[in-house]
Structure 1
Amino acid sequence: MDPVAFELFGIKIAWYGILISLGMLIALVLSNYTSKLKKINYDLLLNAILIALPCAIIGARLYYVLFSLDYYLSNPIQILNIRQGGLAIHGGLIFGIGSGVIYLLKKKENIIKYIDATVPCIVIAQAIGRWGNFMNGEAHGGEVTKEFISRFPEFIQKGMFINGAYYHPTFLYESVLNVGIFIVLMIMLFKKVRDGYTAFTYIGLYSLGRFFIEGMRTDSLYIGGMRIAQIVSLLGVAAWIGFIIYDQVKRKKQAH
């Protein structure tokens, strides 16, 4: 696949950047709707998101650079080059959500309601952004047979034919996973589940799916011989389970 969409005044505009931007735009539009479902102040949510977006990009890049430090110390100018990828979603989530939470804390708002309203927007943006990885020919899994890849649409087959071999389209697996999570989260908002459940369901389901998908990838970041994304994913699943247990215990105490 050609990672360049077009040239503008001699500047190459990459599909990666276009798709990331499209995901952000859709997230912004969707947040207006989710804020109504949670009955929160949309202006404050919008402000939090506008603060979180640049912080998320910076965080995603810093996270990626931190765990590829040897390369970037030797090539420091490449730290600023994000047109060809190199954004780690976990870093983006930590910095993005963290910056939004700090803003809402200063406004003395019910933070968990705002996070509940935001996570469907985040996950649909992730689903779109993964196609940027496809256009870059990155974030794929290990080699597969022609018979296996033939189950996918022809354009996926062509995109996953890299250097004479076919590879698992893990970007597609994660994109589909994210769309599925988005549907679950929107149903939860419609059903008005208790505060916090939508947010932690996002954390749990994404972490669970990412753990298995990460095991297929060939470009994972490592620490001590372990895939960092899988470690973070296990922590995410633990947080999900921990929240459910905590809430159930709390409700039982309140009932007595």
Structure 2
Amino acid sequence: MINIAALNPIAVHWGPFQIHWYGVIIATGVILALIMSVREGRRRGIPEDDFYDYLLWALPIAIICARIYYVVFQWPYYSVHPDEIIAIWDGGIAIYGAILGGFAVMYFFCKHHQIKMWTMLDIVSPAVIMAQGIGRWGNFMNQEAFGKITTKAYLQSQHLPEWIIQQMNIQGSYRIPTFLYESLWDLTGFVLLLLIRHRPHFLKQGEVFLSYVAWYAAGRFVIEGMRTDSLMLGPIRVSQLLSVIFFVGALVIWIWRRYHQGSKLPWYIN
């Protein structure tokens, strides 16, 4: 049996210098997403440098927004531990905060560079959900984003490898691996988006992005309801509230665009 201590959240420890697996995994997802976006961008006529320039602005702002989002909804804790507000290496960044920050940057970036925003969103969406699926393994290494207490026998009944089961032993109790469920949901969405994106006369411009929003929001709503470490707004799970808003919003925008602009909207692939 693999000892849980073998899954150390620290990847490199050199004196006072530490590199956390959380950061390594997140960075890996970002790099792969960038590579994928650049390749698809070439097919769509968007220069490679535009993606690098966008990332230089979007990445730090997305991280800051993700941390602000998390800290705001955990303010009772951080108000008495202000020295921990910047400690993102210990986890505690909210993906919805990152998405909102990255979206805001994209709006101004596309406007400044005169790029069609719907096209840019369609290009990056599969890459983003792939990166989200990879990033959940950073939560795994930090033993966060987990569900209710369960038994080892239940985890074994799901045919999980022993190293995942042992890492789900958190503070003396086994936990439901909701990080895993969301990772699998995201990666499934990634595959589906790739399969449908290049079908001729199937999706209009912007609908790859709207498909991503609807898919992610639906899965996140269900999985968030299984978690015990959700950010709360009174009795409401914040991520579930946003998931409903994003899911309904994506469907409404899709239907409105098809009904009012259908014949004018270009196909993503002719």
Instruction: Describe the superposition over 1:82-108 as per-residue Cα deviations: whole angstroms up to 9, x where unpaired.
Output: 111000000000001211221111122
Aligned counterpart for 2:99 among listed residues 74, 86, 93: 93
The one-letter code sitting in structure 1 at the alignment partner of 2:54 is A
Structure 2, unmatched stretches of 5+, are 1-6, 266-270
List, as ranges, runs of 4+ consecutive aligned residues in structure 1 with deviation greater than 2 Å: 36-43, 251-255
* Alignment match, 2:20: 14
Q: Which moved more, 1:201-210 or 1:145-154?
A: 145-154
The one-letter code sitting in structure 1 at the alignment partner of 2:206 is G
**Aligned partners of 1:21, 1:182: CA distance in 2, in Å?**
18
Q: 1:210 to 1:136 in 2, by over 3 A?
A: same
Instruction: Describe the superposition over 1:36-89 as per-residue Cα deviations: whole angstroms up to 9, x where unpaired.
Output: 343333322331122111111111000001111121121111111011100000
Please give the residue correspondences for 1:197-212 in structure 2 after superposition, counting only pairs within 5 Å.
197-212=207-222
* Alignment match, 2:191: 183
Aligned counterpart for 1:121 among listed residues 111, 117, 127: 127
* Alignment match, 1:165: 173
**Aligned partners of 2:37, 2:140: CA distance in 1, in Å?**
26
Secondary structure of 1:233's match?
helix
Instruction: Describe the superposition over 1:110-142 as per-residue Cα deviations: whole angstroms up to 9, x where unpaired.
Output: 111001101112111111111010011111111
Secondary structure of 1:40's match?
coil
| Maintained 8 Å contact 1:37/1:190 | no
CA RMSD between the two structures: 1.7
Q: How many residues of Structure 1 are paired with residues of Structure 2 in the alignment?
A: 255
Aligned counterpart for 2:162 among listed residues 129, 154, 160: 154
Aligned counterpart for 1:42 among listed residues 48, 69, 72: 48
* Alignment match, 1:237: 247
Q: 1:32 to 1:78 in 2, by over 3 A?
A: same
Please, what TM-score do these two structures have when normalized by structure 1?
A: 0.94
Between the aligned residues of both structures, percent identity stands at 36
Secondary structure of 1:80's match?
coil
Deviation, structure 1 residue 9: 4.2
Structure 1, unmatched stretches of 5+, are none
Deviation, structure 1 residue 252: 6.0
* Alignment match, 2:205: 195
**Aligned partners of 1:252, 1:57: CA distance in 2, in Å?**
36
Instruction: Describe the superposition over 1:199-225 as per-residue Cα deviations: whole angstroms up to 9, x where unpaired.
Output: 011100000000000001010001021
